[in-house]
Every structure is written in structure tokens, then in C-alpha cells.
Amino acid sequence: MRSIEAIAQALASGATTSRMLIEDSLARIADPAGEGARAFIKVHAEQARAMADAADALRKVGRAPGRFAGIPIALKDLFDIAGEPTPAGSAVLADAPAATANAPVVARMLAAGFIPMGRVNMTEFAFSGLGINPHYGTPASPWDRASGRIPGGSSSGTGVAVADGMAAAGLGTDTGGSCRIPAAFCGIVGYKPTARRVPITGVLPLAPSLDSVGPLTPTVGCSAIIDAILAGEAVVAPDAASLDGLRLAVPENMVLDGMDATVAAAFERALTRLSAAGAKVTRVRFAAFDAIPAVNAKGGFAASEAYAWHRALLASKGNQYDPRIRVRIARGEGMSAADYLDLLQARAGIVAGFDAETAAYDAVVMPTVPIVAARIADLDDEREYNRVNMLVLRNTALGNFLDRCSISLPCHEAGQAPVGLMLTGETMGDTRLFAIARAVEAVVSPVVA
């Protein structure tokens, strides 16, 4: 992996061309020894080559649309791309009517000159944190490929495509952790913005109350670049915050439960390094974390809002769904209007309480996922699938419910199993969180050029 900034500099200096970048990406996707056949549902090879040649020609005469023009990216299968169906990793929508326009987030990436390599795999309808897809196959995490480990979901193809260099970066969505979980399992950075900053029009929904669109990238700086483009903001690389005196809260309730030895060691090592760099690490219990499970007990926003969108499709084509996804969506059928209104009211109160609880801290720090990536084969068992899925989503989903921005960055030692460190900032505090994350990255993450 190379950072977007490094690639942009290579393009500007003539050290590489967009066509060279695209051909390298296509070769990695087509490599029979790699995961391209499972990471990508559809490859836009000839379109990408044509766009690359155009970017190179424009750059040669000083008319490139921007410094990122010609850089390859991956698009999760739930974004509208004009002229194509939007299956969202499903079989039931594979032949759906084509989208008539690009989703705004896709249009913004195209306007900045990025080149989509194609549509990448995902958990069907984005409703699982594991990344398993029975329709298109499951791409394996870069770690321990011989054993076949889950990539994390639901943005599974995006995570693997970026980690394996099939694209310089990719777009995912995050409703309960779907950018951050694949990032943690694939050893890259995943960002969940404050949801309202980035439009979700033209994105097939899971739960609009929680849905957000974010990048998966090699570095924090790369994520900041793409997040700014997605939000329609000026691209300004944030300076790293000072770690000296930075106030970091480590929750003691819920989020550290069930950690395996690898994650526990990596997390404690990261905290030790941050403390040595001057950060003030405080262990604290958050009442909000204890309140959320009971509020979500009937299925929460994900089940209720997904069922509202899927109910007609379930009635006509329910037998074509992944049964493990269908049963999750169907939970929403049992929620009443009163249940949903109670959920809205309870969320507002919990968010207000958490805002007060975190006012004294610059960020909340926890493991992104408490375990390393499980073996795909072990999750054929329904009980184990459910157990691991709930555990994988537990920590990340807190940030969605609490309407926060949140980022996962690698904190493992090079060559070891990927482990993600998650930083959660204030609502609409995205710029500040990127500055903090850049400082933390310099202390805890494997180096990316």
C-alpha cells in the first residue's frame, strides 16, 4: 500500500502514470492467487483504462481536474452508479433497474478525478459485521490466508481491495461498524464520519437513522482527504495534534469484555506508548454504554428501518435472501410504532447523557473489535456465526447509536495479526478527530509510505 499523497506526488512528478496505476490494480484483481475474484463483483476494466488515459493526457498539458486525478478506488456494491443496477451484495437485486444517476458521493469522487475500478463485495444488504456472502463468495482477510479468515463487514470487498493494493482507497458505509470492522481485520484505516456531514442519497439503505458513508484507506491522512471530498469540503490535511496532555478516556464497561490475548496485548501496548508520549489515559465507566443494549433489545433501528425498506421484497423474493440476513431483517416486523417512537426518545436521552459524560475528554479509546478475525469455515455453524457477529459489532455500533465520528487505525506490530485501535470524537468534531488520529497513528501504527 502507498498513501494517496505519495501516489499524487508520483503522478505530479511523472514517476508514474494513471495508466500504470490502473494496470497494476487490474493485474492484482485478476491474479488467480489473490482475492480479486471474491473482492470484486464487477470490474470496470476498459472504462478504467479509458479514464486513466484521459487523466494522463490532461495532466500532460496541465489540465488535470485535480492532483488526485487518475488514482484508482473501489466502490462498495450499494452505491448507485449511473447505468448499472445496485444489488448491494444480493441476488434478488442483481437484475434490478439500472440507476439513473450517480450517488452524490460517487459523483464527488469522479469530479475529483478518482477512477472506480468496479463494484466490490459486501455482506448482503450490509446486515452483518463478518463480511460473509454466499452469493459472490467471501474475500479472505490479508492475514493468515492459508486458514481463510473473515474480512469483516459489511464493507468486506473494500477492505480487502485496499489492503491488497487493488485500489488505492475505497468507499464503504458504516451503520454499526461496517467501515471500521473491515479496517481492523485487514490492517488499514476505516472512518465513520458524523453521519449528517456526508449525503446518503443514492446509497441503498440499511438504517437511515444510523447509516453513514466513509473511506477505507492505508493511512489517516488518506481518510481525511477522501472524507473532505465526500463531505464537499476543502481538502486540507489536518496537522497532527499534540499528544502531550491529550485527554483519552478508556471505557471499563462492556468494550473490554471478551478480548482475546492478541487484541489485549496490542491494545495495552498502544495505551502504554500513548502515555509515554504524554497523553493522559483515564479509565472510566460510561452509563450510556450500559443503557444501550436494553434500548436495542427488540432490534433497534437496524431491524425496524431495514424491515420497512425490505418488507415487499421479502414477501416476493424472501427465499433468495441469505437466510442469516433475512432473519435479522424480519426482527423488525415485531416492532410496533410505539416501540419505534420509544427508541427515538431513548436515543435522544442517551446521546445527551453521553455528551455530558465525555465533555472532559478529547477522545474515547477502545479496541475496534475485541477479537482477531475468525476463520470463515468456523462460522458455518449458526450459533457461532451469531455469537461472533454480535461480538464483532459490539464496540463499533456504539458510535453509530451515539451519533459520533469514529476511526479505526492499526495498532498491531508489523507481521502480526491485524488489530484495530478505535478513537471516537465529538459529534461534528471530525476535523479534531483526524488531528488526534494522525498523532496517535504516528505512535501506534505500522508505517505506510
Beta strand 40-43 with 213-217 is unpaired
Q: Could you confirm whether 76 is annotated as catalytic?
A: yes
Which of 18, 128, 154, 445 does the annotation list as catalytic?
Answer: 154
Which of 178, 223, 304, 445 does the annotation list as catalytic?
Answer: 178
Convert 344-362 to b/e letters by CB count within 10 Å (16 or more is b).
eeebeebeeebeebbeebb
Q: Could you confirm whether 155 is annotated as catalytic?
A: no
131 within 8 A of 123, measured Cβ to Cβ: yes
Cis peptide before 316 (omega within 30 of 0): no
The beta-strand segments (E) located in 19-160 are: 40-43, 72-76, 115-120
Distance between CA 303 and CA 393 in Å, rounded?
A: 14
C-alpha cell at 431: 476535523
154 within 8 A of 29, measured Cβ to Cβ: no
Beta strand 40-43 with 115-120 is antiparallel
Which of 3, 18, 25, 76 does the annotation list as catalytic?
Answer: 76
Query: For the chain, how big is the Rg over CA atoms in Å?
Result: 21
Distance between CA 362 and CA 356 in Å, rounded?
A: 13
159 within 8 A of 216, measured Cβ to Cβ: yes
Provide the annotated active-site residues.
76, 154, 178
